[in-house]
Chain A
Amino acid sequence: MPNFIMSYLNSKDAITPGAAGSQFWALVYVFIIFTGVSVAVMAMNWLERKALAHFQIRLGPMRVGPHGLLQPIADAIKLMLKEDIIPAEADQFVFWVAPLIGLLAAFTVYTVIPFGPSQAVSDMNIGILFMLGVSSLGVLGIVVAGWASNSHYPLIGALRSSAQMVSYEVAMGLAVVSAILMTSLNATGTGTLSMIGIVQAQQQQGVWFIFKFFPLGLIAFGIFAIAMIAETNRAPFDMAEAESELTAGYHTEYSGLRWSLFMLAEYAAMIAVSSIAVALWLGGWMRPFPNLLNAPAWDFIFSLFPALTFFGLAAIATVGVVRMPAHSFFKIQRIGLAAFAALLGFIALVLLVIAIAGRSADASVAARFREGIDYVYWFVFKVAIFMYLFIWYRATWPRYRFDQLMKIGWKVMLPISLVVLIMTAIVGVLVS
């Protein structure tokens, strides 16, 4: 094996490839994350349509693949083949470049998301600032798209969305600052902005920041959780694309691949902000009770969870196979779903083997691999909960009116987040 591949694997201390200066592994991580996020967006697309349909007592996609499992792929192919219409009166170049701005901003953020103490592309000293800053560039894509379309509805949608995002960024930033303040409650009194450092601070203090200084951490988390829905333009704050008022808001004039880039950017941004919430308040990659239940036996039990999850998914798919109507029309679907169940079961088996092979806490390759899988699993699990919540909110709450939205942002969330910030500082000084 060439040296530039092995030297990072052989290093004893767990650091990210970016910090280790290993360009090869940084690139590998970038590819893994890019693929993972794209697959997650497709899965999210299917889950959202399915879950929304069941909320509304419909079936949702059922035709393409068993239970519509291949629907996202069919959609992707359809969108790629569709004609890409650019309106005659539109600003050609800006119209062309606008979706790319949003996409770049949404995906650049992933360089600092800590899937584990060394499972990130890089660990920046300014991690959280970088994340908030770059994700706030995404709104430029929306604004510019609305303007370049040279049409009324997109322009109104873009104006609404930028006003909304700027307003909610303030409360969001203040909530984040109160979490960062909590990282400084250690012996040296110096906090950190690094995403990995923030999670490690929670580990050192033995508490997720959501439970720290109860209820201050909880309120800050709640403000962030509300603001992040507004930031990503999701229901009930999806004023920018309110279809009853604005057709489709800023992307009314977009079609085909360019439209799908907007969707990709939106979902990627949703995963990114959920990751911020998970890293800042929900202990990031840590499994539940890492300090309290720290016996090796507990480590082993918790390391079985990834395998169990996939076994559960395989079981659900098997139930689907069994319940498939016994008609010859469903023969191919039944075989397909059975194959999918088998695939999930196989993944579960592999994970189980890894969990058992790497159960010793030494520095063997299997143990490190098992550890890495655990970290990524718990992080992704927590983010997945947020993803489901996004769907749940959309199915449950009616859309706000624009003035109500602004009122909540400026007159409720901002004062509360300021008070929480000040209280956190006061309590922090009193405690230390």
Chain B
Amino acid sequence: MNPALNSGLNSAVNAGMAPVATPWFFYVLAGLAVASGLLVITRRNAVHSALALIVTLLAVTGLYLMLYAPFVAAVQIFVYAGGIMLLFLFVIMLVNIERSSKDRQFNRMWPVGLAAACALLALFVTAFVKGKALFPDRMISLPESSNTQQIAGMLYGEAGRMGEYTFAFEIASLLLLVAILGAVIMTKKKKI
């Protein structure tokens, strides 16, 4: 066997070899994401929708892994599939399913929806046809093994200098902190 394979996928990618069965994994994951995404909006039962949404999120996680972004994939599982969907289910479970399943499911706004869908389709087609000219050519070939470290470098800075996105990151974290505090204060019964 080629010795390059022994030292892992990274070197295999660097050596210009395609990872194993990539297109098939992509088709399966993308198909799963689309199919379960359709289930999310067509199911009448809200809990079924939530479960389908979890499948969608996990399929997208697989796509992240294929793009050599393991950190984003892990955060996707952790935050969305694990945390947020749990809270969704938590709330939905307490809703009266019997009544909500009799409600009308879709808004009668299909002209607007059609326009939006067409615009999105046009965008996708443009990106597909002229993709090479639209996007910068320097595709960062992040080796999978240092993806997390590179993200950390961009956010917190490395080797004594500030990271590219440190300021934006701090602002965002401040915003989140304020939101958390707001949630805590709003749920308090007594006025402070």
Which residues of A line the B interface, CB within 8 A? 3-4, 7-8, 11, 13, 15, 19-21, 23, 91, 93-94, 97, 124-126, 129-130, 132-134, 136-137, 139-140, 143-144, 146-148, 155, 158-159, 162-163, 166, 169, 190, 193
Which chain B residues lie closer than 8 Å to A137 at the CB level?
Answer: 77, 81-82
Contact A143 B89, CB 8 Å, known A94-B51, A126-B71: yes
CB-CB nearest in chain B for A129: B74
Contact A124 B93, CB 8 Å, known A20-B8, A166-B83: no
Query: Is residue B29 contacting chain A, with contact meaning CB distance below 8 A?
Result: no
Contact B47 A91 (CB under 8 A): yes
Contact A20 B147 (CB under 8 A): no
Residue-by-residue, is B1-40 near A (CB-CB < 8 Å gives 1, otherwise 0)?
1000111110010000000100000000000000000000
Contact B74 A126 (CB under 8 A): yes
Option from B45, B48, B70 in Cβ contact (under 8 Å) with A125: B70
Option from B1, B45, B93 in Cβ contact (under 8 Å) with A143: B93
Which chain A residues lie closer than 8 Å to B74 at the CB level?
Answer: 126, 129-130, 133
Which chain B residues lie closer than 8 Å to A4 at the CB level?
Answer: 1
**How many Å lie between the Cα of A38 and that of B51 in the bound state?**
28
**What are the 3 A-B residue pairs with the smallest beta carbon separation, nearest first?**
A133-B77, A129-B74, A136-B82
Contact B86 A162 (CB under 8 A): yes
**How many Å lie between the Cα of A94 and that of B93 in the bound state?**
13
**How many Å lie between the Cα of A163 and that of B94 in the bound state?**
14
CB-CB nearest in chain B for A15: B8
How many B residues face the partner with a CB closer than 8 A? 35
**How many Å lie between the Cα of A15 and that of B3 in the bound state?**
13
Contact A20 B73 (CB under 8 A): no
**How many Å lie between the Cα of A159 and that of B90 in the bound state?**
7
Contact A125 B8, CB 8 Å, known A91-B47, A130-B77: no
CB-CB nearest in chain A for B81: A137
Contact B145 A125 (CB under 8 A): yes
Which chain B residues lie closer than 8 Å to A132 at the CB level?
Answer: 78
Which chain A residues lie closer than 8 Å to B51 at the CB level?
Answer: 94, 97, 144
Contact A94 B48 (CB under 8 A): yes
Contact A21 B47, CB 8 Å, known A125-B148, A126-B74: no
Which chain A residues lie closer than 8 Å to B126 at the CB level?
Answer: none
Contact B144 A125 (CB under 8 A): yes
Option from A20, A124, A136, A148 in Cβ contact (under 8 Å) with B78: A136
